[in-house]
């Protein structure tokens, strides 16, 4: 049976249904719209498979997910076979509805899950036999629109806000699940990034461990807070505003700037002025402004060249322990490997093997281009 009820704007109308193999699909409605009370997935799907493995790399202390079942996932299908378009009488997709606003569903080919549970800490993991840990966690797909063409940047105001409200609700729900240590909201756009579906969509990963990048950033944030009493990203934002040369845009609640030590030829951070650990902590005014400023930034990226710019939109949310939530501030990191109209930056020896980035484009130059672009 469907779960959930209609809610006011602060929570957004949403309702949970189930697909033919038992996966959850959460329907979200734009302001003034309603979510379907009943949906029926007419497909005959195989039962959900067993989870993959988490393998511990003793050299680095990192977890690596091994998900061989993902080799069978759909790869760049034509529009008539898109699994994210609405279902029709003659073709059933992952979304069993003839129309919808925003839908979030469990990935059919997950890197993590479908089981939930704790994973050992690194000290214990180093002693485990090979293949001893199931890849617990959860992977979800966030479909922005029923339209096959377009992007987040092309969404209307109300729809952009609905997507943000969906991210908020999913962050809250996933953060409360057993064993989850970090919730990561992101979008890959463009074949040059490696997307497998053209339909406008993003993803959410709920990890049973703190990822290497999040761990490194959290450690820096904790050290800064302990030594200065100040939030690290808040201090960086103050310094960027004082300098001004890398600021792209500024609102009442958010600022966009190109980071001083950018790794990518196109990179920008969108940072809230108030300290919040994750999307779920944003207030109504902040969410309303975010829907506008986030799309504005994406449109600036696209306006730099005659063709759409490939990007990764990564929402850095604090890990779910109290110390990291006190020190780590939510922010968006938008990056693209595009260094010219017909050139991409590839991660070669220094970056891929050593993690030591070399950027050909100064941050100040990138910021000036993004500020001056004609929208």
Among 50, 18, 51, residue whose Cα is nearest residue 137: 51
A 10 A CB-CB count for 6 gives 13
Structure tokens at 332: 């968006």
Among 288, 286, 240, 259, residue whose Cα is nearest residue 357: 259
Q: Is 39 within 8 Å of 17 (Cβ atoms)? A: yes
Q: For residue 351, what is the DSSP state?
A: I
Among 338, 284, 331, 332, residue whose Cα is nearest residue 308: 338
Q: For residue 60, what is the DSSP state?
A: T
Whether omega for the bond prior to residue 352 falls within 30 degrees of 0, making it cis, is: no
Q: Is 265 within 8 Å of 360 (Cβ atoms)? A: yes
Among 321, 310, 309, 252, residue whose Cα is nearest residue 284: 252
Structure tokens at 370: 């993004």
Q: Is 103 within 8 Å of 26 (Cβ atoms)? A: yes
Q: Which residues are catalytic?
A: 201
Q: Is 221 within 8 Å of 232 (Cβ atoms)? A: yes
Strands in 53-57's sheet, in edge-to-edge order, are 62-66, 53-57, 133-134
One-character DSSP codes across 195-223:
-S--SSEEEEEEESS--HHHHHHHHHHHH
Q: Is 270 within 8 Å of 164 (Cβ atoms)? A: no
**CA–CA separation, 58 vs 41, rounded Å?**
44
Beta pairing, strands 24-28 & 14-18 = antiparallel
């Amino acid at each position: 049976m469907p779960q959930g009820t209609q809610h006011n704007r602060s929570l957004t109308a949403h309702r949970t249904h189930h697909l033919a193999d038992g996966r959850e699909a959460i329907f979200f409605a734009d302001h003034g719209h309603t979510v379907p009370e009943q949906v029926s997935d007419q497909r005959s799907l195989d039962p959900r498979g067993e989870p993959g493995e988490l393998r511990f790399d003793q050299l680095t202390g990192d977890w690596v997910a091994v998900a061989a079942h993902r080799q069978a996932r759909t790869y760049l299908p034509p529009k008539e076979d898109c699994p994210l378009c609405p279902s029709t009488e003659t073709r059933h997709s992952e979304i069993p509805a003839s129309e919808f606003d925003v839908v979030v569903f469990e990935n059919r080919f997950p890197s993590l899950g479908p089981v939930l549970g704790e994973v050992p800490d690194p000290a214990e993991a180093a002693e485990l036999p090979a293949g001893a840990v199931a890849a617990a966690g959860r992977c979800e797909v966030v479909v922005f629109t029923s339209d096959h063409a377009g992007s987040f940047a092309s969404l209307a105001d109300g729809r952009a806000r609905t997507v943000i409200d969906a991210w908020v609700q999913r962050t809250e729900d996933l953060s409360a699940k057993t064993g989850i240590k970090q919730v990561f909201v992101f979008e890959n756009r463009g074949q040059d990034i490696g997307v497998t579906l053209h339909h406008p969509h993003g993803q959410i990963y709920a990890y049973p461990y703190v990822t290497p990048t999040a761990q490194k950033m959290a450690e820096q944030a904790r050290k800064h807070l302990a030594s200065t009493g100040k939030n690290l990203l808040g201090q960086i934002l103050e310094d960027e505003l004082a300098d001004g040369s890398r600021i792209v845009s500024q609102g009442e609640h958010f600022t966009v700037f190109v980071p001083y030590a950018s790794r990518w030829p196109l990179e920008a951070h969108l940072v809230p002025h108030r300290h919040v650990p994750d999307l779920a902590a944003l207030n109504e005014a902040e969410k309303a402004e975010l829907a506008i400023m986030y799309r504005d930034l994406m449109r600036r990226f696209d306006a730099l060249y005659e063709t759409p710019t490939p990007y990764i939109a990564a929402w850095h949310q604090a890990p779910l322990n109290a110390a990291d939530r006190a020190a780590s501030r939510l922010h968006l990191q938008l990056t693209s490997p595009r260094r010219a109209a017909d050139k991409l930056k590839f991660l070669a020896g220094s970056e891929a093997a050593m993690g030591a980035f070399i950027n050909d484009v100064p941050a100040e130059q990138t910021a000036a281009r993004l500020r001056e672009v004609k929208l």
